[in-house]
Structure 1
Amino acid sequence: MSDDARQHVERVAGSRRARLTPAPGTDPSPDVAAKDAAASVPAKEQGPNDARLRQDVPPHY
C-alpha cells in the first residue's frame, strides 16, 4: 500500500484539534445538494403529540 493512498493528519496552528486530509477516492466538498433536496420533501401529516415532542427537552439539558 502506498503512502498516497491514506489519509494524513495535519496539524492546525492555534488549534487543539488536528485535521484529516480527504480519503482517497472521496469528494471533500460538503454535501449541500442532498440537504437542499431533503428540505424540499413535503412534510408528513403531524400527529397529536408531534408539537409536544419537539418542545420536550431531555433531562440532562
Structure 2
Amino acid sequence: MSDEPREKRQRVVRVPGARRAQLTRVEGTTSEPHVRPERKAGTEGDHGPNDDRMLREVPPHY
C-alpha cells in the first residue's frame, strides 16, 4: 500500500426495496444541482436563421 492520500469519490449504495441506488456525499460538495444560464432563441449572436420558425412549429402528435 502506498502512503499517498486516496482520491475522494462517491460510492454507490444499494437501498433495499428501492429501484435506484444512491450516491454517497463527498466532502466539499453540495447537493444542489448545477444550473446553466437560460438561453433564449433570438438573442444577439446566439441564434440561427431557422430559430423563429422552429419555435412556432408544433409537433404532429400535439
Q: Pick the TM interval, shorter chain.
A: 0.3 to 0.5
TM-score normalised by the chain length of structure 1: 0.43
Larger helix fraction of residues? 1
Whose radius of gyration is greater, 1 or 2? 2
TM-score normalised by the chain length of structure 2: 0.42
